[in-house]
A = this chain, B = another copy of it.
């Protein structure tokens, strides 16, 4: 989002963040990127079983919002790798806070030490 554009819903920083992140999938793709996943099939292999069309859509949105960049690692057919930008890396504290809250209230969930 261009910062000079009018705000979509409000001038609240939480709202503007949720306009990008507020769904059940986007932060999971970012989690996978933080954990070192880069390729389409790696994201597809995560236990949440994201649908291919949702993954493609979220990766496009993440790129449009400058949270990830992609680079081709193969031609014919073209295949891409995705990497978090500094803006995307900046979401680690959000993920960490969700991990802390989730582990407290869903005690059987696993520990994610690297986030």
Contacts and interface: CB of A to CB of B under 8 A. Distances in A.
Interface of A: 1, 3, 7, 9-19, 21-25, 27-28, 31, 46-49, 87, 90-91, 93-110, 112
A24 B16 contact: no
Given A87-B105, A94-B94, A110 B14 contact: no
A68 B64 CA distance: 35
A99 B14 contact: yes
A99 B47 contact: no
A93 B97 contact: yes
Contacts of A87: 105
Which one of A1, A98, A108 has the greatest number of beta carbons of chain B within 10 Å?
A98
A3 B106 contact: yes
Given A16-B106, A16-B109, A105-B87, A9 B93 contact: no
